[in-house]
Amino acid sequence: MGFFHEKVSRIVSIVKDELSKQGVSSSSHQHSSDHRPPQPPFHSRPPQPQATPFPGSTRPTPHHPPPPNDPRSYQLTQTLYTPPPMATTASSPTAPCPYPFHLRIETLSHPAVALLFRALPHLPTLLPQLHTIITTLLYPHHPPPEVRSVTLFIRPMPGVAYTTGTRLDEAHKEIHLSADYILSCCHGSDPSTDAARRAEIEGVLLHELVHCLQFSKGCPGGLIEGIADFVRLRGGKGAKHWKREGGKKGDWCGGYSRTGYFLDWLEESYGPGTVAWVNESMREKKYSDEVFRDITGTGVHGLWKRYKRTYELEGRDDGSDDERDC
Ligand SMILES: [Zn+2]
């Protein structure tokens, strides 16, 4: 019995040990691949590091006072535009396009359709690339407004192109591109014109896509069109026939490439993101000419004067043409 008792005791002891081991091993199994030290309660954790701000998300500080008559070395002044505080962080301009593109061809038999796809076989990838150009130039500081979809309509119509929101939802955009213009823009259907047609249509699509994404609250039409052509210029998709133009006091917002070149000079003179701040100023508030003074320290008419002087463009700036103000 003694031997039996001793045997039973040993067995009981082994079973106890085994159970004890299992207990230990089952409680450690859940964390066997987790070597983190115990975490303090959430509320007592040290603050987590913030995401690195996107380059250009803070305004540069001025270094030197502006030398007179030298716009290219003119630095930002102390009267800087202070953007409204944003709840969201700017997304990278190179982030994938966050909305889908759709294509609607209304008259498939129109000869422009075949020409379009011959000149722009990369259309599916082109449109997201154009989106990236826009966000890089106009939204280095804050995210662009929400767009849920962009539908490109190819249809016979007069004119070149226009952009609109749908009747039910402004966040769904439509770009209407004239099939007749695709046909006529580059003189004929010869394959040798494909490169010219490609350049022209890419530029038109970029211009229209800017309208889908830009702010325009209270903005004069000339500035709206000028910002769109500024993006064309800076995106390397300006038209060949464009040239810098001067003009009177208010002609800075004459629109299209005239204003586009002026804004291009502004960006060159005051640094990348300058035109983005002009656009950004209309996110919450109505447009005012004063935004140019806030950003650069100089009123828009003074800037226009300086721009014309830089490129020796013609145009009077006496007080007689005040009515031409935007
Ligand atoms: Zn336009």
Q: What is the predicted pLDDT for the residue at 244?
A: 95
Contact status, residue 209 vs residue 131, Cβ threshold 8 Å? yes
Distance, in Å, from the CA atom of 37 to the CA atom of 33, rounded to the nearest integer, reads 12
Locate tokens 């007179």: which residue? 68
Q: What is the predicted pLDDT for the residue at 64?
A: 34
**If you measure from the C-alpha of residue 168 to the centroid of ligand 1, how many angstroms do you get, rounded to a whole number?**
22
Domains by residue range for the chain, with CATH: 96-213 (3.40.390), 217-313 (no CATH)
Q: What mean pLDDT is reported for the chain? A: 78
Q: What is the predicted pLDDT for the residue at 10?
A: 58
pLDDT class of 93 with cuts at 50, 70, 90: low
| Better-scored residue on pLDDT, 37 or 163 | 163
Distance, in Å, from the CA atom of 255 to the CA atom of 37, rounded to the nearest integer, reads 62
Locate tokens 């079973």: which residue? 15
Contact status, residue 174 vs residue 99, Cβ threshold 8 Å? no
Q: What is the DSSP string of 194-213?
A: HHHHHHHHHHHHHHHHHHHH
User: Residues 15-71: pLDDT tens digits?
Assistant: 455 444 444 333 333 333 333 333 333 333 333 333 333 333 344 333 333 333 443
Contact status, residue 220 vs residue 253, Cβ threshold 8 Å? yes
**If you measure from the C-alpha of residue 162 to the centroid of ligand 1, how many angstroms do you get, rounded to a whole number?**
7
Neighbours of ion ligand 1 (CB under 5 A): 225, 228
**If you measure from the C-alpha of residue 17 to the centroid of ligand 1, how many angstroms do you get, rounded to a whole number?**
82
pLDDT class of 315 with cuts at 50, 70, 90: confident
Inform me whether the pLDDT recorded for 166 exceeds 60. yes
Q: What is the pTM of this model?
A: 0.72
Inform me whether the pLDDT recorded for 180 exceeds 50. yes
Mean pLDDT of 104-133: 95
Q: Which of 20-24, 28-32, 160-164, 193-197 has the lowest mean pLDDT?
A: 28-32
Question: How far, CA to CA in Å, does 236 sit from each of 202, 261, 264?
Answer: 10, 13, 12
Distance from the Cα of residue 133 to its chain's centroid = 7
Contact status, residue 183 vs residue 208, Cβ threshold 8 Å? no
